[in-house]
Structure 1
Amino acid sequence: MAVAQDWELDGAFAVRALIVDDEPLARHGVVLRLRKFKDVEIVGECADGRSAVQRILERSPDVVFLDIQMPGMDGFEVLRALPAERLPAIIFLTAYQQHVLRAFDVHALHYLLKPVDDMRFAAAVCRARDLIHSALKADMAQRVIKMLDRTTDQFASRFTVQAGSRIQIVIVDEVDWIGAAGDYVELHSNGRSYLLRETMSGLEQRLDPAKFIRIHRSRIVRSKGILELQSIENREFTLRLSDGSEHRSSRTYADRLERWLSSEGI
């Protein structure tokens, strides 16, 4: 369940901070430390990546204390979901392995190791304060983007879709099937549907072929969700998925479905 907490805003503060961590004690520790800085205002707390993206877009914080390891949507995915021009200053909170810390060092990004040391915390806040009030903020955003490019996966792990005035995050591994809808594709996940402005061919390139199969020019299905196949004729099938939906494959994409059947030992 998404957890987010808003704080009352006061225009007298110079630095607006958002805290993102799935551990309540970790968030509380950051809150207590930030209260020592009279020019820092806490504009919210988030316990997951999806609510963090929404809060950053809504509140435009100057600095975000961002945990890397979170279930569902990690800290890197939060940053990838944001437009480059909306990236705030970032102080990463991490207990990550050494090779990830080296990536931060290479790109001169601020991070705090858990458990957080008070002196390092104070130094990180001071650096962030200097950063947001200078021309270096855009340079920092570019360093974050370069670091994300180095750590990015080959295939998409989430989609960002616009739903009215809200931004929705759809986790790729939770998508049951995808259908063509004019100039859009329709993502079906956990009983809900989301419109994404993308072509089926373009979307297919972003999906891991080990997890998704295109069975028709207007259908892509998650392979783990296939429960039953019923042969029709001419190498065509009716597929029943775990969400209860049924889809017809076409001869054009028969080779892909047959390769999957073979890989499953069927």
Structure 2
Amino acid sequence: MRVGLFVTCLIDLMRPEIGFSVIKLIERAGFEVVVPPAQTCCGQPAYNSGDRRLARDLAEKMLREFEQFDYVVVPSGSCGGMVGVHYGDLFRDDPELMSRYGRLRPKVFELTDFLVNVAKIELGPLGFEGTVTYHDSCSGLRELGVKAQPRALLAQAGVAVAEMKGCEHCCGFGGTFAVKYGNISTAIVDEKCANIQASGAGAVVLGDLGCMLNIEGRLRRNGDTTTRVLHIAQVLAGDA
């Protein structure tokens, strides 16, 4: 079966190696992976900023490029939430687009949800050294119900997890929130970094690159040069 991989802007521009780890995992589960070369943004920044026209244009573009596939996998809770939850709002006044979206929506999965509930992948021990803690990104957790899936995969892979205090609390990124409300964002991410360090884990693992960049940036600015910040695909693919 063919999986369309929606790479996401941040992975494409900032951490392309994560995209290759995602492909490795999906292919290991027995699926053909296709990465449409013309894909761009899911429209979330425009949607969150109130620019519905641009958000809808991008949503229509995504729909055209991905509706042909058996499944669509998104290695980001925030982009997955945008496609899986908010496109319905953008298309609500267009019956034809809404019908097409209705056929696409059940095929869209966040990466770990896909690996657990569709691919039913079986991972052996990876030999990953050390303990990790897991950060539950807001959109993946609250919009897509991603909570048990990444932990189940880490357990399969023999990766020890030490849960941090407030693992479900926001990291303070929130897209443009971090720009508009910098002081509040900084206070939130400082609390997150303190909880990561208090867990005793040598790495924090997560499934959303926005959170990843925000947490890693703040850890480094605060002088922590040793705590690793990893996308779960990197860990599960053996690339960490």
Question: Which structure is higher in RCO with an 8 Å CA cutoff and minimum separation 6?
Answer: 2
Report which of the two has the higher share of strand: 1
Same fold (TM over 0.5): no
- Bigger radius of gyration, 1 or 2? 1
What TM-score, normalized by structure 1, do the two folds share? 0.27
What TM-score, normalized by structure 2, do the two folds share? 0.29
